[in-house]
Amino acid sequence: MFLFHFYPNLSHKINNLRAMSALLVVIYHYFIFFFTAQGLSATYAVFAPLEFPHQDFIQILKDFPFDLGKFAVAEFFLISGFLVPSLIEKYPTRASFFKNRFFRLWPIYVIGLGINILFIWGACLYNDLDFVHTMESVIASFFCVRDFLGYPFITGIVWTFEIEVKFFLFCLAVYPLIQKPSPRGLAFLKAFLFFAFFYLASVFYEDQDTNFYAYQFFRVLSGNLNYFCFLLLGMCFSFYLSKKISQKVFISFCLVISGLFLVESYLIFTPAGWFRTLFSFFPALFIFFWYIAKSEPQKSHDVPYLRTISEMSYPLYLIHAIPGYIIIYILYDYGISIPFGIIVACLVSYGFTYVVHHYMEKPIRNKWSRKGDSFLNK
């Protein structure tokens, strides 16, 4: 954890960025996505879509190139990548790193997904419908293989989690390239894997009926590898601040990976989606580099409220969207306005987040991490 000793305010800055990103995601889902993607919001929540006035304004939001949700997600990716070298320094073997990530992430993911499923089940009962997801889909979602098997999202919010799981597995495979930083090796391997998987996905695309799982496997991996660019940018920034690589190597890596992100995104997205992604992700990169790198030795950057939100950000991210939408729809059925419904949804989401964090996440993390460490030391 040398980096955090060398930059004493760094942990506070990371907390602030993580908290702000979590709040921006909540704002995006309740105040933008719910209106601009009403059909999808209703599908996830198992309700009929609502008709809103002021469609011209909603269309402006849809067409606006900056996407607040993508911006916040980019910050999360940068933070996750940035922390990996410090984690590998603390957990120097593949087994210890894997167990740390597993105990830190998977139990709360299962709890958060379970809460979403309970709300969806309740919405199905409320609307006199059978449960809309199959048992196979639920099991695949719990074990993070939903996308490979072609099942739909139970909650779309988990798409970033699925990418980070694959990135941590990628880190296990390239452990030596992170322990002794090799930006050139990381960039080459990441680019090779993307273009190889993208090519194989295009080959199997022509014959999906007989090669569905092969097509799905390579399509998912190529799409996820595109976002690895920002996780790797965060990682390389950590190398640079730790003085493990030179400024020249860092700048060269940023240019190469940014170029790869441009090309890969162009291959994956529509032209409009490509521009929207770039216009949202690169401002996040600039803000991340600027905020972390700026020197203010006399300022602590510790904001208690943001520190609290940062600590609860993981369950908040998992829980707020679908349960919140369902609450808004039910209250609307009873004549309660959508703005008031959003307020109630925020309060309920915070309540669930508080309970999960204090009575599940913290005890599970502490207990299971100790078990993992004791197992590794045997």
Mean pLDDT by 10 residues, the chain (378 residues): 63 94 97 96 96 86 92 98 94 90 92 98 97 96 95 94 96 95 96 97 88 95 97 97 95 98 96 95 97 76 91 96 98 96 97 96 76 46
Contacts 24+ apart (CB under 8 A), 347-354: 348/323, 348/324, 349/26, 349/316, 349/319, 349/320, 349/323, 349/324, 350/316, 352/115, 352/315, 352/319, 352/323, 353/312, 353/315, 353/316, 353/319, 353/320, 354/312
CB 20 within 8 A of CB 306: yes
Strand intervals (E) in the chain: none
CB 236 within 8 A of CB 163: no
Q: Tell whether the torsion through CA atoms of 157, 159, 163 and 169 is positive or negative.
A: positive
pLDDT at residue 377, as a whole number: 44
CB 265 within 8 A of CB 226: yes
DSSP 47: S
Q: Tell me the domain boundaries of the chain.
A: 2-377
Q: Which among 377, 309, 378 has a CA at the least distance from the CA of 349?
A: 309
CB 103 within 8 A of CB 368: yes
pLDDT at residue 375, as a whole number: 42
DSSP 8: T
Q: Which among 174, 173, 172, 108 has a CA at the least distance from the CA of 142?
A: 108
pLDDT at residue 298, as a whole number: 63
Task: Give the integer Cα–Cα distance in Å for 120 and 297.
Answer: 48
Q: Given the structure tokens 């803000």, which residue do they identify?
A: 287
Strand intervals (E) in 109-189: none
pLDDT at residue 259, as a whole number: 98
Q: CA 308, 320, 31 angle in degrees (round to 5)? A: 100
DSSP string, 344-376: HHHHHHHHHHHHHIIIIIHHHHHHHHHHHHHHH
pLDDT at residue 376, as a whole number: 41
Task: Give the integer Cα–Cα distance in Å for 345 and 323.
Answer: 8
pLDDT at residue 4, as a whole number: 56
CB 117 within 8 A of CB 138: yes
Task: Give the integer Cα–Cα distance in Å for 44 and 113.
Answer: 13
Range 253-272 burial, b when 16+ CB lie within 10 A, else e: bbebbbebbeebbeebbeee
Q: Token pair for residue 162?
A: 């699925």
DSSP 145: -
Q: Tell me the pTM.
A: 0.94
